[in-house]
Amino acid sequence: MNLRIIFLGTSGAIPSPDRNPSSIFLQYGKTRILFDCGEGTQRQMMRAKTGFNIDAIFITHLHTDHFIGCFGLIETMSLNGREKPLNIYSPQAEFLRDLFKMFGYNNLDFKIKVFDVKDGLSIRFDGFNIIAFKTEHIIESFGYAFVEDDHIKFDVEKAKSLGIPEGPLYSKLAKGEIVEFNGRIIKPEMVLGERIKGRKIVYTGDTAPIAKTIEIARDADILIHDSSFTSELENWAKETKHSTARAAGEIAKKARVKELILTHISARYSKNPEKIIEDAKSVFENVKVAEDFMVVELHRNKG
């Protein structure tokens, strides 16, 4: 299944001419999700040509640079004739529900359902789960992990040797169903091979470096981590409960992730993100700084 990530906003609290406030678009097959929705996200979606057919929005915390874009996006969805319900997951959900009610969003042609996020909350989608985990910021905050289902390799040669024709029977067997062909019962284990671990992507939102992230991100394909500052501003990062690039690199190294992508970049580094890269690479090599409209295609693990 195709897995695509588009970074719609990668700035810190203050945007720059090149960086919009936080938002990440994830597409898995036909499912489309937003992680955070900062100011101007809908315009970024237009420019990235993602469309507005979003299934769910996951908000990390209720600082305006992470959620205020929901209002313009909802208005646009309404004007475009949306009918499908929109699910939003957020800490302090009651506050967000009250705001939507004040804006008259209870009277739209589609329902907006706002769910409260708790540590360990797991939301099921077709082929994957989104799992929330508690992070450490100056207000209640959560990160989110995309965890794909494990899959089992289908051995086409075994199927052919049993005389099974390509088509619907392959699909049923791959799903673990027993089938009958030419009067013979074919069990899935007769044509299935090794189990392959599903892909994992972890997004922290704004957070200080914490052990919980290491636990959640263990062996992840991609860790998208707060990297507001370089190590020279470590004291400021601690005071504001953000992370330095080096601290994000240490998390990535301890979690043994395959790739680290740094985001929530302070405007002071907008013109020279090399400082951020150098800080992280002092402890973890496979790292890049996210840029607005950067696209990441993540292919299925082959074992």
Q: Catalytic residue positions?
A: 65
Which residue matches tokens 């150098």? 278
| Element containing residue 38 per DSSP (H, E) | none
**3-state class of 193 per DSSP?**
strand
* Count of other CB atoms within 10 angstroms of residue 81: 8
Q: What is the rounded distance in angstroms from the CA atom of residue 56 to the CA atom of residue 273? A: 31
CB 160 within 8 A of CB 190: no
From the CA atom positions of the chain, what is the Rg in Å?
Answer: 21
Spatial CB neighbours of 136, under 8 Å, sequence gap ≥ 6: 207, 208, 210, 241
Spatial CB neighbours of 216, under 8 Å, sequence gap ≥ 6: 131, 133, 143, 145, 202
